[in-house]
Amino acid sequence: MLLKSRNLFWDRISSKHDIGSTVLYLLLFITVSSAAYGAVLAGWRSPLLSFYVAIKMPILLLGTTTLVMLLNWIFAGMTGSGLSFKQVVAITYGAMGVTCWILLSLTPVTALFTFSVASGGTHAEQQLTHNYLLMAHIILIAFAGIAGNCALKQGLDKTILHGCSARKIYWSWIASFTIVGCQLSWILRPFIGSPFYAIEFMRPDALKRNFFEFIYTDVLPYIIKGGS
């Protein structure tokens, strides 16, 4: 229904019909599809990391949406959308479901890239492979995320009360997703698996720094200095 009759899906959410079973189905689908994509994502490095990432991808996606759910409901309430908490949950997981449909459909494509690039060679070669894969996955996941965001906007347009601004709710939700998603992905790294680090479920310093601190102290100075 989410794939082929999305208007029907939003109508069901809008009329609050059978939301509980819809959400359960979505949770199951998001878990399975993101685990499949995660398994392929880290497949180039080792089967062990592939297994770890198959566990971590559903935690990342479901964790991000679950952690911001309460905040999103409050944002929606403050703008007079008339959405119940159950509806917010269903809309959020519905949008994530669209993202996961795209990730699932791209799994054969990513499998080709993962298994046709070298996992051995010199450090420089491994770093190059890692960077190429990183770039490819960023593009694919960003694309899936954009499609999910479009679905989110569409869902809000169809379910909120007339006269309420869907745009305000949408951007406040996107902001909360971004902040929480970036930090959770930082905590749960590695995903692709840098060749310079050991294979592990989480890095030992996972809870020591944060994503935004890393961007501010490491990435920005590197870019400003022109990569030197």
With residue 66 as reference, give the H or E element that holds it: helix 47-78
Using a 10 angstrom Cβ sphere, with 0-12 exposed, 13-18 middle and 19 or more buried, the burial of residue 43 is buried
122 lies in the binding site for other proteins (CB under 8 A): no
127 lies in the binding site for other proteins (CB under 8 A): no
Q: Pick the binder of other proteins from 71, 117, 182, 206 (CB under 8 A).
A: 117
Question: Closest distance between other proteins and the C-beta of residue 220, in Å?
Answer: 26
Question: Closest distance between other proteins and the C-beta of residue 117, in Å?
Answer: 5
Give residue for tokens 């999305």.
Answer: 6
Distance CA 94, CA 22 (A): 9
31 in Cβ contact with 62 (< 8 Å): yes
101 lies in the binding site for other proteins (CB under 8 A): yes
Closer to other proteins by CB, 69 or 117: give it: 117
Q: Write the CA distances from 54 to 33, 191, 201, integer angstroms.
A: 10, 9, 11
Site string for other proteins, 146-185 (x = CB under 8 A): -x---x----------------------------------
Q: Which residues bind other proteins (CB under 8 A)?
A: 3-6, 98, 101-102, 104-109, 111-113, 115-119, 128-129, 132-133, 136, 143, 147, 151
